[in-house]
A = this chain, B = another copy of it.
Amino acid sequence: MEHEYVAMKGATMKEVAAHAGVALSSVSRVLNNHPDVSEAMKRQVHDAIAAVGYEPNLLASSLRRGSTKTVGFIASDISNPLFAEIVLGAERRLDEAGYSMVLTNSEGNPERDETMIRLLRRRRIDGLILSVADEDRPGTIAELSKLAEPVVLIDREVSGFHTASAVFTDHSGGMRAASEHLLSLGHRRIALISGARSLRPVRERLKGFEAAFQTRSLQVPEDLLRFGSFSAPFGQQATAELLALDDPPTAIISGGNLLLTGVLRALQAGQRSVGRDISLISCDDVPLAELHTPPISVVDRDAVQMGEAAASLLLELLAGGDRPRVAEVPTQLLLRGSTQSLVVD
């Protein structure tokens, strides 16, 4: 008696209506709590729902409504703990606004960026947050342009695509502070190891780096600049190369936490003691930097805040804001034991 109907796979609104002896549309109204429905009807329908084990079909609902209440997030590298924090911040804010997030990672592969944008577009997401792997790739730009929904870029400027909001980090400011600190310690041979130049953070950091030298009317050590990818192997290889130079650097700036592990491996292999033999600053704080011996100075930023800012910008656009906007999050130089005054021989 109590268990008239056993919950079975795939009960639909129609069956709920039949079981409750009401019209399909009434069930829909109850579910979307439409104002014009009687208490009796509500109870009746809710009972029927429980009885048949009904589960709404979001595909059908989205199709009909024309909106999925879902935003996509394409992370360029999910293994970077930094991104986890950005995602966290974004998801939190989106959740509050009743949106859910589908996350995908492009593994730093520009081709996957394209595929993912297309896929999400076809899934009819309402908006997109992403950090493309290559700002200049025509395919990516094309896919993005086909997207009618609002877009927020994270630390990226996509050439010829200016309808998106963006959240930027003040990389140039942070890098400038880091470089000035090293210069003030007497370092001149400062190396910069970073990712591909087609990425905004890399360009901005370079700007800050150069600015620090130029302010002091010093020559930028062009032979010590290494642009490749934000990966440990590149960091290791670049560092090894730098150490092998006739006039090697006395300080290294690493452009990210993945690079950092490569840099440290190479320094270790080259028997260089951090701080003592060579000064080191990295970007983005991670446990590895904090707990290294000696602790490594970093240019830090609040990644959770970045995620929140990205979500807020997107929500603004989703709410009908037609004017794309830009938010900037500050950086902060955390000095630790890895930078030491240059001993003049």
A184 within 8 A of B: no
| Minimal beta-carbon separation of A260 from chain B (angstroms) | 8
Residue of B nearest to A103 (CB): B103
A1 within 8 A of B: no
A329 within 8 A of B: no
Residue of B nearest to A267 (CB): B291
Residue of B nearest to A70 (CB): B123
A63 touches which of B57, B123, B293 (Cβ 8 Å): B57
Residue of B nearest to A78 (CB): B84
Question: What chain B residues lie within 8 Å of A58 (beta carbons)?
Answer: 119, 122-124
Contact with B along A64-83 (1 / 0, CB 8 A): 00001000000000111100
Question: What chain B residues lie within 8 Å of A216 (beta carbons)?
Answer: none
A-B contact pairs, 23 of them (CB 8 A): A7-B146, A53-B146, A57-B63, A57-B124, A58-B119, A58-B124, A59-B68, A59-B123, A60-B63, A78-B78, A79-B85, A79-B88, A80-B84, A87-B105, A88-B107, A100-B104, A102-B103, A260-B287, A264-B291, A268-B291, A288-B288, A291-B292, A293-B293
Partner-B contacts on A (CB < 8 A): 7, 9-10, 53, 55-60, 62-63, 68, 78-81, 84-85, 87-88, 91, 100-105, 107, 119, 121-124, 146, 148, 232, 260-261, 264-265, 268, 286-288, 290-293
